Amino acid sequence: MGGGDGGEDSVVHFVLVHGASHGAWCWYKLTTLLAAAGFKATSVDLTGAGINLTDSNTVVDFDQYNRPLFSLLSDLPPHHKIILVGHSIGGGSVTEALCKFTDKISMVVYLAADMVQPGSTSSPHDSAMTVGEEDIWELIYGEGADKPPTGMLMKEEFRRHYYYSQSPLEDVTLACKLLRPAPLRALNGADKLAPNPEAEKVPRVYIKTAKDNLFDPLRQDRVVEKWPPSQLYILEESDHSAFFSVPTTLFAYLVRAVSFLQL
């Protein structure tokens, strides 16, 4: 890959960002495939997620939630050509990172993800977290029952259907042991970004999950229409969690997407 800053060869570096309740662990199949193909791949635990030690009930704003991602990006050298990949509500995290680190980002990929143009606001119906009227979320009251909820976690009986309907049972079993409450207050700030014309020049890719019971494919279509990406891919056999259900196809689409970049 061509020469980079200071004579170093450029490195294509995928930075993978999980959605609500998940963590860096959910990308284990994809990071293995990317590394075997010669790419660098890093998955990150946002604040209060995965093995991050913060109690998610204490995470109150979106910047605080995303801080581990910002720290990682700020430390990466200039010859790393960063491909940011955000899943589900992690789309909001990668958009905020794009606005803060525009010069470092070569491409942003939204996987069944919230993709809201900076400066606009999303309808609740355009979010990966909205599912009809069904009461599928357990609310966590970390500051007492008389205060607003601080966290949310999908109830166990709904997880296979909404998150993992096409995924191997072993992955479902493991994931259900690792999910943590998502910081509700922080996620409420996910689409409150100022307009950023420079960030909009960075190529964006949307990957749609066609058998998604959580983020309905028709709602994903609406997101794509509102802020059209430069590339669109469709995972025909994927549930909401493509990293479990169709990792090799997801890998192939990511490699194809970056092949269009002049790196």
CA distance 28 to 146: 39
Pairing of strands 182-183, 151-154: antiparallel
Distances (CA, A) of 163 to 50, 107, 231: 17, 26, 25
Q: Which of 87, 167, 240, 241 is catalytic?
A: 240
- Give the start-end residues of each E strand in 112-174: 137-140, 151-154
Q: Which of 212, 238, 239, 245 is catalytic?
A: 212
Torsion-angle region of 62 (φ positive above 0: left; ψ -120 to 50: alpha; else: beta): alpha
For the beta carbon of residue 229, count every other beta carbon within 10 angstroms: 18
Q: Which of 21, 43, 56, 88 is catalytic?
A: 88
The alpha carbon dihedral of 20, 116, 215, 133 has a sign of: positive
In this structure, what are the phi and psi dihedrals at residue 48, rounded to the nearest 5 degrees?
A: 85, 5
CA distance 96 to 121: 13
Q: Please confirm, yes or no, whether 122 is among the known catalytic residues.
A: no
Pairing of strands 11-17, 105-111: unpaired
Q: Please confirm, yes or no, whether 74 is among the known catalytic residues.
A: no
Q: Please confirm, yes or no, whether 212 is among the known catalytic residues.
A: yes
Active site residue ranges? 88, 212, 240
